[in-house]
A and B are shown apart, each in its own frame.
Chain A
């Protein structure tokens, strides 16, 4: 009896996850896919998506690494928990709310945005930089989580060994700690990048939607769906292909047995 219930549950789960994919593949305009994929609309939004998602990943790594490192070192419970909550908030926050929050901070009348605009004439909303910020905001927690667990798993004895060998602090961190945490860090980079690539809510709220500047692939899909469903499906197929590629990249990291520091050679 129990087994039947479990199998029915499994079948439902497979259907639930698989049918939407099937729908995308069945309804895809295969005959006209070539021209659709070669269209300017797709090329423009794909190029923009690649640029913004990669830049956002870079931002997430540059800001996320110090954050993750602090989370590993901090022993003060309250401070650490507060920092962790701050770092993870964008992950549970609805992205649209994130976009509103970004507007109120960096928009033309935002806390920091107003002085930026009136003193330097810099305005981030409706710019590619704004789209990068929106994507980085939602992608950051994914990198921090992965980096934190990777850094925490580094065996302190290796770091100690480096220190006794007279390696400087900075170079010890780079050559021992980061090297040992590299599998987790790269997994974090890939997940953060995938999240940045799929970003919609915060982007459309904070950065608007202008072809070539802020209209990334997900925004183009959403807009095209209303009037040109074939184009929307073609764009979706591109994103689906990218997602499958990401999974393939992650396969060794997540589906294999967990990496232990001992098994990773120090380069």
Chain B
């Protein structure tokens, strides 16, 4: 009996600890594409300061965050890495007007110090290179597939990852040698990966566009709108630019 009581006490303690910390500032829930994680996480304290809100960031592939918002996830702002995922949310009538906040170029990402010596995108065809790609169902995979087709490469990826962070993680851990991710991923301050020049990606049609929208059900509409305002402001452009993104 005493044991049951202490187990119950431990559980409630954990619950309280997990739920605690609610301040008076409104909490703004942002659901965003994985590739935005480095820039938004680093920028979050400043955003919270400027807007007087508590930011709660949730990252997954664009298709996943869009679906979560459609299914009723408690989001105030949705930012995807392509127009197609945002269209899913728009078609379901759960978001308001969309505004592009940034663009991103594809990048060839290899492990730090490039141990298998990948010099160009053509090296991805080598049989000794383990290539992981994003799945063609998510934006980075769709763009990578377009790039591979345009350049006319024949590659044999060992895995199709579910989002760009997972693809980079496989390279950073050393399980894979290379992946095609975004230019912003190389500016995230990671020491375990590096980029290889890929002029083939210098093409507006191979760029990711990031639309942002206020979720219709939001209870913090003013704060949500000012967040999108901030993302598209000159300050926003400067932060995105430093993080490796292009202006919208």
Interface residues, chain A, with chain B CB atoms under 8 Å away: 103, 107-109, 123, 125-126, 204, 207-211, 214-215, 222-227
Contact = CB atoms under 8 A, between A and B. Distances in A.
Interface stretch (B49-57, B96-104, B153-161, B212-220): B153-161
B61 A226 contact: yes
Nearest to B159: A208
A210 B158 contact: yes
27 contacts: A103-B175, A107-B174, A107-B175, A109-B173, A109-B175, A123-B130, A126-B158, A126-B159, A126-B175, A208-B158, A208-B159, A208-B160, A208-B170, A209-B159, A210-B157, A210-B159, A210-B160, A222-B162, A223-B137, A223-B162, A224-B137, A226-B61, A226-B63, A226-B64, A226-B67, A226-B138, A227-B137
Contact of A208 (B61, B63, B132): B132
A149 to B, nearest CB: 23
B176 interface: yes
Chain A interface, DSSP helix/strand/loop, else mixed = loop
Interface in B102-122: none
Contacts of A211: 160
Interface in B145-193: 157-162, 170, 173-176
A108 B130 CA distance: 11
A215 B176 CA distance: 17
Nearest to A224: B137
A125 B174 CA distance: 10
A209 B61 CA distance: 15
Contacts of B162: 204, 209, 222-223
Contacts of A208: 132, 158-161, 170, 175
Nearest to A126: B158
The 7 closest A-B pairs by CB, nearest first: A208-B159, A226-B63, A126-B158, A109-B174, A227-B137, A125-B175, A210-B159
Contacts of A222: 162
B135 A108 contact: no
Contact of B63 (A109, A123, A207, A227): A227
Contacts of B161: 208-209
Select the residue from A108, A208, A225 with max chain B CB neighbours within 10 A.
A208
A28 to B, nearest CB: 17
Given A210-B160, A214-B159, A215-B160, 13 more contacts: A109-B173, A109-B175, A126-B158, A126-B176, A208-B159, A208-B161, A209-B135, A209-B160, A209-B162, A210-B159, A226-B61, A226-B67, A227-B63
